[in-house]
């Protein structure tokens, strides 16, 4: 009989298991994949942006839902605690632009391995290739789990407490396939509708095929929902066969996805020259033209203003042939060009599904969980941690901090 069984060896599960074991509990950590922390290992493009060093008020602003609920777990184990934790466990860290914290080695594996070693050092028993299939309860009190072991046999294991840390449903290849929602729902919990967040957005722009592989830095993007400004972001945007991505597009994606689900009209308006006013841009274009040979083409002017892939889409958008001589370009056409450079419109018609979404929005309703302990308000001895909860945040290290803070609090097994 264990004191606690933790389901899922991701960021939240490992933190919860190690915290409980450190406090003298007998802990069994069950993981259905062949190794721990698969999602951490691919996080931050393989570099793992493990937290964000911003002060608490700013940190809270990045939490997109249930920020008050999360505040308690964050106060117990905040971003500074996360930084201290990994440095004490031998991982040197550095802070980059936007206060994002990464391992100095540039290797996400160091974060996953440090957590795993911390679990083992504190006496957590970890079993892999072991899929939990259900949670055993009697009189609204947990007493264990059923699982399928690596040989495919159904078994049960008893414990006084169970922590569900099964993650969401995004990137299911890492092991998070939404099992925790089923367990919670079976035990009477409400699951807030799950949908992809921090996910590429798909556009119906007629020239989108030319934009594959394009990266735009330092752009300003405005998300409009039913023609009203819903969000504005500054930074990087890229285009791929998955859709429009990059930090800016991902950050606005949460609102865009919700609006599309509600069948609202969504568009993304990109200002490629946010540092220049229309007047200054006009003067700059006139200067460029003056320095060009009269028999050079309009496309060569565009090439001076935007990356190569954008030349044809912009020429199409303006309905000016890219092979027009520069000497024939009128002031009226320059003004039209400026309008496009400072506000190219991408109608957003769809979004990339869960396998491409960095996080899952929605999950176990936080009102049915005690925010001071992470214990279920419906079933005694049942706890939740990490992305399985209805908690999600912007890019920037906030989502892993959600996993660490809620994992730590759940692992304290407070009653
Ligand atoms: C590509 C990508 C990049 C990301 N980069 C960042 C980043 O740089 N910074 C950041 O803050 N966030 C990032 N995130 C988000 C962040 O990684 C997640 O929010 C976080 O890992 C969630 O942790 P978790 O422990 O709740 O869930 P997970 O990490 O998903 O862990 C859940 C674990 O439970 C196991 N499991 C599920 N069901 C069962 C079952 N029935 N039985 C046994 N085990 C089970 C799974 O196999 C998995 O190991 C990224 C996500 C992705 C997909």
Segment 18-73, tens digit of pLDDT: 999 999 999 999 999 999 999 999 999 999 999 999 999 899 999 999 999 999 99
Residue nearest to atom 26 of ligand 1 (CA): 386
CB atoms within 10 A of CB 242: 16
DSSP state of 309: G
What's the rounded Cα separation, in Å, for the pair 180 and 16? 16
Q: Is 245 close to ligand 1, i.e. is its CB under 6 Å away?
A: no
Neighbour-count burial for 23-39, b at 16+ CB within 10 Å, e otherwise: eebbbbbbbbbeebbbb
The per-residue pLDDT for 1 is: 87
What's the rounded Cα separation, in Å, for the pair 10 and 403? 8
What's the rounded Cα separation, in Å, for the pair 122 and 113? 14
Mean pLDDT throughout 341-370? 98
Q: Is 399 close to ligand 1, i.e. is its CB under 6 Å away?
A: yes
Q: For residue 289, how far is its CA from the centre of ligand 1 (angstroms)?
A: 52
| Ligand 1 atom at minimum distance from 170 CA | 53
What confidence category does residue 322 fall into, taking pLDDT thresholds of 50, 70 and 90?
Answer: confident
**Pair 309, 210: CB distance under 8 Å:** yes
Nearest to 407 by CA among 1, 6, 3, 89: 6
Q: Residue 299 pLDDT more than 90?
A: yes
DSSP state of 122: T
- Partnered with residue 364 across adjacent β-strands are 191, 389
The predicted model scores a pTM of: 0.95
What's the rounded Cα separation, in Å, for the pair 82 and 11? 12
> Could you give the angle at the alpha carbon of 228 between the alpha carbons of 222 and 230, nearest 5°?
50
What's the rounded Cα separation, in Å, for the pair 76 and 64? 20
Mean pLDDT throughout 106-120? 98
What confidence category does residue 362 fall into, taking pLDDT thresholds of 50, 70 and 90?
Answer: very high
Q: What phi, psi does 258 have (nearest 5°)?
A: -60, -40
Nearest to 415 by CA among 3, 1, 132: 3
What's the rounded Cα separation, in Å, for the pair 40 and 405? 15
Beta strand 51-52 pairing with 131-138? unpaired
Q: For residue 403, how far is its CA from the centre of ligand 1 (angstroms)?
A: 8
Segment 166-176, tens digit of pLDDT: 999 999 999 99
Block residue for tokens 């632009």: 97
Q: Residue 258 pLDDT more than 90?
A: yes
Residue nearest to atom 6 of ligand 1 (CA): 43
Q: What phi, psi does 207 have (nearest 5°)?
A: -100, 15
What's the rounded Cα separation, in Å, for the pair 403 and 15? 8
Mean pLDDT throughout 101-120? 98
Nearest to 197 by CA among 318, 65, 100, 299: 65
Q: Residue 294 pLDDT more than 90?
A: no
Q: Is 178 close to ligand 1, i.e. is its CB under 6 Å away?
A: no
What's the rounded Cα separation, in Å, for the pair 41 and 118? 16
The per-residue pLDDT for 91 is: 98
Q: Residue 84 pLDDT more than 90?
A: yes
Tokens of 87: 């440095």
Q: For residue 59, how far is its CA from the centre of ligand 1 (angstroms)?
A: 20
Domains in the chain, please, with CATH? Answer: 2-196+356-411 (3.50.50.60), 202-352 (no CATH)
Q: Which of 399, 405, 406, 410 maximizes ligand 1 atoms within 8 Å of its Cβ, making it the mutation to test the pocket?
A: 399
The runs of H, that is alpha helices, within 161-266 are 179-186, 247-261
Q: Residue 188 pLDDT more than 90?
A: yes
Q: Which of 28, 36, 127, 400 maximizes ligand 1 atoms within 8 Å of its Cβ, making it the mutation to test the pocket?
A: 400
What's the rounded Cα separation, in Å, for the pair 356 and 72? 30
Q: For residue 176, how far is its CA from the centre of ligand 1 (angstroms)?
A: 6
The runs of H, that is alpha helices, within 33-176 are 38-46, 56-61, 67-76, 79-88, 108-121
- N-to-C CA span, the chain: 19
Segment 193-228, tens digit of pLDDT: 999 999 999 999 998 989 999 999 999 999 999 999
Q: Residue 155 pLDDT more than 90?
A: yes
The per-residue pLDDT for 205 is: 94
Q: Is 171 close to ligand 1, i.e. is its CB under 6 Å away?
A: yes
Task: Report how many helices (DSSP H) and strands (DSSP E) the chain contains, helices first.
Answer: 13, 18
CB atoms within 10 A of CB 41: 18
| Ligand 1 atom at minimum distance from 388 CA | 26
Alpha carbon 62 to chain centroid distance? 11
DSSP state of 327: G
């Amino acid at each position: 009989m264990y004191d606690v069984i933790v389901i899922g060896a991701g960021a939240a599960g490992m933190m919860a298991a190690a915290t409980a074991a450190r406090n003298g509990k007998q802990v069994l950590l069950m993981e259905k994949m062949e190794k721990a922390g698969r999602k951490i290992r691919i996080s931050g493009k393989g570099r793992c942006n493990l937290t964000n060093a911003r002060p608490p008020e700013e940190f809270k602003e990045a939490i997109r839902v249930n920020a008050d609920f999360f505040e308690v777990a964050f106060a117990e184990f905040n971003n500074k605690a996360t930084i201290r934790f990994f440095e004490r466990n031998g991982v040197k860290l550095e802070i980059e632009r936007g206060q994002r914290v990464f391992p100095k080695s540039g290797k996400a594996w160091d974060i996953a391995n440090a957590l795993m070693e911390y679990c083992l050092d504190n006496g957590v028993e970890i079993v892999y290739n072991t899929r939990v299939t259900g949670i055993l309860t009697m009189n609204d009190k947990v007493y264990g789990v059923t699982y399928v072991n690596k040989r495919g046999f159904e078994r049960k294991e008893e414990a006084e407490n169970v922590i569900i840390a099964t993650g969401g449903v995004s990137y299911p290849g890492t092991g998070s396939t939404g099992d925790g929602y089923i367990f919670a729902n079976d035990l009477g919990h409400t699951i807030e509708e799950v949908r992809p967040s921090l996910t590429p957005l798909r556009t119906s722009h007629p020239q989108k095929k030319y934009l594959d592989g394009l990266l735009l830095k330092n752009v300003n993007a405005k998300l409009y929902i039913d023609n009203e400004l819903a969000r504005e972001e500054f930074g990087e945007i890229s285009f791929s066969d998955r859709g429009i991505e990059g930090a800016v597009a991902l950050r606005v994606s949460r609102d865009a996805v919700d609006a599309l689900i509600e069948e609202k009209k969504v568009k993304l308006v990109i200002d490629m020259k946010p540092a220049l006013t229309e007047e200054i841009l006009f003067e700059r274009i006139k200067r460029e033209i003056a320095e060009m040979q009269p028999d050079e083409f309009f496309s060569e002017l565009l090439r001076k203003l935007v990356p190569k892939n954008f030349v044809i889409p912009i020429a199409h958008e303006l309905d000016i042939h890219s092979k027009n001589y520069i000497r024939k370009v009128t002031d009226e056409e320059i003004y039209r060009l400026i309008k496009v450079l400072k506000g190219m419109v991408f109608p957003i018609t769809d979004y990339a599904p869960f396998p491409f979404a960095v996080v899952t929005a929605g999950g176990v309703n936080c009102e049915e969980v005690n925010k001071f302990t992470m214990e279920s308000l419906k079933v005694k001895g049942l706890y939740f941690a990490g992305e399985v909860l209805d908690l999600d945040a912007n890019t920037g290290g906030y989502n892993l901090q959600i996993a660490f803070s809620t994992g730590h609090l759940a692992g304290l097994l407070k009653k």
